Structures are given as structure tokens and as C-alpha cells.
Structure 1
């Protein structure tokens, strides 16, 4: 059990260093709600960088979660991310700390669930066992928010939907010296925002197989992209975190 946990931890650590380039992704859905102020042909103005930075999730916004900014090294590594199939690039961008399409302003955060603390009177062994158990339950996420001019958000989401259909059979992502093989991209659903695409992606890295969740939601002229992975190997959609981010956007 410990050997399995340590192996998953090593895989996850590699994923974090790749700006959360992990072993599987999540689901697909479209909610074609088009409010009057977002009607075709009507111009929308993007938020400024300063405005967007105030609307991304911050430490304290999400109970039992840690929110931090990605390091310069992680951002630089994310910029090197590529796919062996050109049609899959929008998916790679969404999984990494990279903007989808061409936003006027973009910002990102790393989020992780916080483990429960062991009892005060727990023995050293019990604390160690609790630590391993908590590690297995840890969920790591990237939260990217972009603000777009005109129809840019709709176009970026449409590109993701098209990429999901074209790349359902899999592709290989490369970032730096690390390669992750996506073996399957399965559609899922997310109810929220004006429209959304989501995928459960099964990936394989160094022989370890797992699933992660990718969800991108449009709210007005903003796009929110979440990529999540659990050290347990199978990841559920981080709905609470996505809902919190959408609520903060107003």
C-alpha cells in the first residue's frame, strides 16, 4: 500500500512541476444560454488585468483548500507544452497554465485540498499512517481565468469542444523532458455558467494510469478552466471550486 502511494506521489510531484500536467482529464457539456447582452454581434469589453486579478480565487475563498500563485518556473515550463497532434493543442493549453485562445487578460492559481489533522493524542505511527491516507485523498487543481474581447470567449470554448471530439482517442503531451500519454478523452457534464465543456481524461505516465478532470466554463466574456487530479488515481470533478470561482466572477 505504501509503495503504491509513494509511486502515485512521485507521479503527482512530476505533474505539479509541469504546472499540473497530470494523468487524466474530465467531461463535456454545452449549456447554450445566451443572455441578451452576449447576443451575436454585440461587442463585449474585456476586464483589465488588475480587475481580473481581483476576481480569481484567493487564499481564504475556498474552505479546506490552499490557493497559491504558480511559480515563474512552472509558468515557463507550461509555455513549452506541446502535443503530438496539432488539433489537440487547445486541450493541452487548458490543462496547463496557458490561456485558451487569445484573451486580453489572463491569470491563474494552483489549488490543493487540505488534509485533516490527526488527533492530538495520536502515536507517531498513527500520525504517519494518517499522513499517507491524507496524501491519497489530496486533490491538486489549476485554475485559469481569462477575459476576452468580443466573441473571443465563445470562439475559444468552441475550439476546445472541437479538439475534444478530434482527440477522443488520445494524444501525447510534452512539457520539458516529461511526456504524458492521454489514452482516452471522455465527455462529461458541468451545469453552470453560460456554456461549458468538460472531459474525463485517462492518461498514462511512467506506467502509472489515472484519470483527471478538465472543465472549462464561459461566463459572459470570461473563461474559467479547471484541471484537477487526485493522488488516489481517480479524480472527481472539483465542482465546489469551480462554483466558487464562477460566483466570484459575479
Structure 2
């Protein structure tokens, strides 16, 4: 129980109190190559939407676009202020190239954004079949941390490219520091993205859970115009088995529906 409880707390704090780097990837890409470059469209490639003269949204505008209660069926939306870092300065990497990955995992902007917001979604008790999906005793909890960031010009495309480049540069692992704690990421791998939006890229990370075992976590980053959304999911009930939780397609679809 000790390991599972500490893992849950670490995941919810995104690297604050202890353990994890939050990430997730799923669906998309080429049918012939399920992990082709880890991106549905080459980062930096021409977008279906022109972003050359795009203006970033304000924080207030992003807040209205962030998933709220009732937006994603089967999920409860919660303010991320209590579970996610408030600033990028709170989450640091020992390798500059890996910083975009660490930030994406923490619900923070993976690039130099003009505005960003975040929250968390928990699969509702009715959906999990648990009488209390937030109970640390059952650990029958699935959470997805969502971040939105907006950029002027082609900043969003550069942010996605930074994540794509970071996946390759950080394959051997890196270290994340936050709140006086450090988390060792042992490996980074490209995963098959959803193919949603104008660009999507996904990756998984292997992480040492406070010296008590290893776990794998997934993250996906999706761009729609000059707005980037990030998704990191964790299923606390599956941590003991080491099985990584996929980013729920329902959450991605619900968020993108508000961005279009």
C-alpha cells in the first residue's frame, strides 16, 4: 500500500511532492507504422491553418476553452491549481532539450507561450464502477491532466517541434526537479499519437517510483491553430502492474471540440 499511495500522491502533484513525470500517447499516425516519428504530421510542417499572423489568446480566453463540468462525458473536471505546478520555473530538467517534455507532462506550456491554463479530469465513480473513485484505499482512480497554451505567430508549431525533438534527444532519460524533489526518468520513447488537430505527437516515459519499482506513463500534445493542448493520464489502480494508461480519446475529443 505504501508504494501505491506514494505513487498516487506523486502523480497528482506532477513531480511536486515525489515521483512522476506525467505523460501519455495514443492513437493516430500511419496505419503502416504505428509509431512513425511519434507525430501525426511532421513537426514544423505546413499547417492546415495559417499561423504566421496568429495572435495568442489571453489567459481568460483560454480558461473559457478549458474543459469544465459536463464537457467530457464520464469525467469530472477539477481546477488544476491544487494539483499542478503554477509556473514553468517550478519544474526543471537537467537537460535543456528535455524541458518541453517535462512541462508537457506537468500541464505546462511546452514552449514560450503567451498564456497557459490547466486542470485535471477524473473518471467519474459511475464510469469506474467504484463507490468512491477518489479513495486512496481502492486506488481505483483514473486521472488526466490537461494543459492549454496559446502562442503568437508560429510559436505553437515551434512548441510541438520542441516536444518532437525532445523525444529523440532524451531517449536515454533525464531528471526532473520540482518542489525540492527529483524524479528520474529512465527512458523516453515515441508513441503513436491520436492524429487529432493540426499536429499531434505522443511519447511514453519510464520512471523510477521513489526507489520502489518502475512505471510507464504516457503524454500527448495536440496543436489546433496557435493553441496547444497537452494530456497526461495515469490509472492509479494499474501502477502496481507497470501498465501505462492511455490518454482517453474522449478527453481529447471533448477538448478539441471546444477549440474548433
**TM-score, normalised by the number of residues in structure 1:** 0.82
Q: How many residue pairs align between the two structures?
A: 235
Distance (Å, rounded) in 2 between the aligned partners of 1:31 and 1:216 = 12
Aligned to 2:111: 101
Does residue 59 of structure 1 match 2:64?
no
Q: Which residue of 2 aligns with 1:201?
A: 205
From the CA coordinates, give the structure whose radius of gyration is larger.
1
> What's the CA shift for 1:24?
6.0
Cα 1:165–1:56, aligned 2, differ >3 Å: closer, same or farther? same
| Unpaired runs of at least 5, structure 2 | 26-37
Quote the RMSD (CA, aligned, Å).
Answer: 2.8
Aligned counterpart for 2:7 among listed residues 6, 11, 27: 11
Deviations 1:12-54 (A, max 9, x none): 1122134686256334223257455416xx3112223222211
Aligned to 2:167: 164
Say which of 186, 192, 195 aligns to 2:196: 192
Q: Is the 8 A contact 1:113 1:139 kept in 2?
A: yes
Change (3 A) 1:31 1:76: closer
| Farther off after superposition, 220-229 or 107-116 | 107-116
Q: What is the TM-score with the length of structure 2 in the denominator?
A: 0.80
Q: 2:50 aligns with which of 15, 32, 38?
A: 38
Residues 11 and 234 in structure 2, CA contact (< 8 A), matched pair in contact too:
no
- Shift in Å, 1:146: 0.9
1: CA distance, partners of 2:136 / 2:109? 34
Q: After superposition, give the CA deviation of every residue in 1:153-186 in whole Å (9 maximum; x if it has no partner).
A: 0011111111111001111111113222111211
> Could you say which residue in structure 2 is the equivalent of 1:211?
216
Distance 1:132 1:109 in 2: 20
